[in-house]
Structure 1
């Protein structure tokens, strides 16, 4: 478990009631901003599947601030999934803290590359800026993704560990 200021980030259950609410908002926003065939967000049961680690960020009082997941794609590749910050926590660095935590966990597992897919619409511009500031660069579709004008694909090569 990692702590950032008054925020604790740790593995969690994506089927907890407060998490279900946040993931429900996430899915609703994805469907409101993208055509259904371009929505690649996972539902809570998929986030609980083997090969996926799910984390939440919580305030000292236990309130949910955000979530993220890492899906193992192969021995050295992973995919960032379900990055979401609660509306009340936006602009407080929660997304950056979650991203740093997931990337740290990926590096500890020996992953070399972390991929992600996000939207191309203006709604997703803050997310794209966050990923680009973290060093992610545009890449072609990966895994089972196909070219889609509504999807932006990114990859980050993690530093090798001694």
Structure 2
């Protein structure tokens, strides 16, 4: 698996982002989906990654810094054909390593609370994330689950 930073000029990446947005909005109550649109993923606060194997796109994911030592996992999505093969875990480990390298002390995320998101929630828990309350600009929402991972040694 190879990780590439900032690939927005590949139709497969754009299609994965479109699928991610559609799934997020279809499986979340109105007003509760927080997926970043493509333009927001291209800002200086965001590091957008794609995972590849022999020219095939496997997954996408991003880190959004919102404070000097705090970042959020954004836009985690595994291509449908690659699910349940450990690809999501590999992408998450890559994002965690990138956050550590960048001096992040706490890595946060918001995900949906509906059944569609249960596999992702399980993966986040297996990687050390713990449920917490809202952070940054989020507000309490029964359709959202908030999690944090402490990266300080």
TM score, norm. by length of structure 2: 0.97
Name 1:3's counterpart in structure 2.
Answer: none
SS in structure 1 of the partner of residue 118 of structure 2: helix
Question: Structure 2: which 5+ residue stretches go unaligned?
Answer: none
Name 1:135's counterpart in structure 2.
Answer: 128
Name 1:146's counterpart in structure 2.
Answer: 139
Return the offset for 1:80: 0.2
Return the offset for 1:16: 2.6
Provide the rounded CA distance (Å) in 1 between the counterparts of 2:112 and 2:29: 10
SS in structure 2 of the partner of residue 36 of structure 1: coil
TM score, norm. by length of structure 1: 0.91
| Root mean square deviation, CA, Å | 0.9
Counterpart contact for 2:106–2:152, Cα < 8 Å: no
Return the offset for 1:15: 4.7
Counterpart contact for 2:49–2:61, Cα < 8 Å: yes
Provide the rounded CA distance (Å) in 1 between the counterparts of 2:5 and 2:152: 23
Return the offset for 1:50: 1.2
Provide the rounded CA distance (Å) in 1 between the counterparts of 2:70 and 2:148: 10
